[in-house]
């Protein structure tokens, strides 16, 4: 069997698998934390095809491998290959982290909890009792909708260009979830962009997922995008007087949850954040 993960220098291996994955910021984030905490682990980004994923899952059963992060397009494949999934990962049908519990591979999804921790840390309020509009209905939108429902949001409206996907994502929020329209943005407390509109390298960096006029002062406006750190959407929201949050908080907090699952240590959030911002700002 091909070897994907085990480093030759005796350190415990961890990695993110995806396709493509070479531009992943995860090695920067985790290796900064391992060095700071003096944990003898090393983390790499490994490009694997869908056909290779089951071999990787066999490999992480071996001693010397500590854990695995999973990114596109393998989150659903891994959910079907691990021995157990957490209720969150089960409901999403997607795994972004694999931990080892004895001989058992456990699949987690830390995206939604990472989002909630980030919004709590950055707004000092969190989502409880708030009406929220989630724009987009893909993997991130689903994780956020599920987490918002669990965190006690009063309403979770999902709007995307595909009505059936919106409905499915909104259903994850439970009875407070429903599909809706961008026209409802004006009346909500929190607006979340969970589409790639505005992301660097997509050709639509200048576009907004929602017209600026639809936002107002006092709202919390979140862009899950972290590259660039300030999208045109966040710049417009700031000009209007809304409180804004970029995707770095969710990125760091979901990674911190994975770090703790693997090492049983509290993650050095500031170190991880500084490392990733330095990398993005290069």
Residues marked active site are found at: 75
Estimate the share of the chain in helix, then strand, then coil, as percent rounded to the nearest 5. 40, 20, 40
Q: Does 180 bind ligand NAP (CB under 6 A)?
A: no
Position 52 contacts ligand NAP (CB under 6 A): no
Contact call for residue 139 and ligand NAP (CB under 6 A): yes
Considering only residues 44, 160, 171, 244, which one is a binding residue for ligand NAP as defined by CB under 6 A?
160
CB contact set of 246 (below 8 Å; sequence gap of 6+)? 222, 223, 225, 226, 229, 230, 231, 234
Site string for ligand NAP, 217-246 (x = CB under 6 A): -------xxx--------------------
CB of 74 to ligand NAP, least distance (A): 12
Phi/psi of residue 172, nearest 5 degrees: -65, -20
Say which DSSP state 11 is in. Answer: P
165 binds ligand NAP (CB under 6 A): yes
**Dist. CA 238–CA 216, nearest whole Å:** 10
Residue 79, both tokens: 């959910």
Among 25, 132, 141, 173, contact with ligand NAP (rule: CB under 6 A): 141
Q: Which of 137, 147, 234, 261 binds ligand NAP (CB under 6 A)?
A: 137
The radius of gyration of the chain's CA atoms, rounded to the nearest angstrom, is 19
Binding site for ligand NAP (CB under 6 A): 111, 136-141, 160-162, 165, 194-197, 199, 224-226, 247, 250-251, 254
């Amino acid at each position: 069997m091909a070897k994907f993960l085990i480093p030759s220098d005796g350190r415990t291996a961890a990695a993110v698998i995806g396709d493509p994955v070479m531009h992943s910021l995860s090695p920067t984030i985790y290796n900064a934390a391992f060095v700071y905490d003096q944990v003898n682990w090393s983390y790499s980004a490994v490009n694997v095809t869908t056909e290779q994923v089951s071999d990787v899952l066999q490999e992480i059963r071996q001693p010397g491998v500590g854990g695995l992060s999973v990114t596109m397009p393998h989150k659903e494949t891994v959910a079907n290959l691990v021995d157990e999934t957490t209720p969150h990962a089960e409901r999403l049908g997607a795994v972004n982290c694999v931990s080892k519990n004895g001989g058992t591979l456990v699949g987690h999804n830390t995206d939604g909890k990472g989002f909630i921790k980030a919004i709590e840390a950055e707004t000092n309020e969190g989502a409880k009792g708030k009406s929220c509009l989630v724009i987009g209905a893909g993997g991130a939108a689903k994780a956020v909708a599920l987490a918002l429902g669990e965190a006690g949001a009063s309403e979770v409206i999902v709007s995307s260009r595909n009505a059936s996907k919106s409905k499915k994502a909104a259903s994850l929020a439970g009875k407070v979830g429903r599909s809706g329209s961008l026209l409802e943005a004006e009346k909500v407390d929190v607006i979340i962009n969970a589409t790639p509109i505005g992301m660097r390298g997509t050709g639509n960096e200048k576009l907004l997922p929602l017209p600026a006029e639809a936002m107002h002062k006092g709202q919390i406006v979140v862009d899950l995008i972290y590259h660039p750190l300030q999208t045109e959407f966040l710049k417009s929201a700031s000009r209007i007087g809304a409180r804004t949050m970029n995707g770095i908080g969710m990125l760091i907090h979901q990674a911190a949850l994975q770090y703790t699952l693997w090492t049983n240590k509290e993650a050095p959030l500031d170190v991880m954040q500084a490392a990733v911002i330095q990398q993005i700002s290069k």
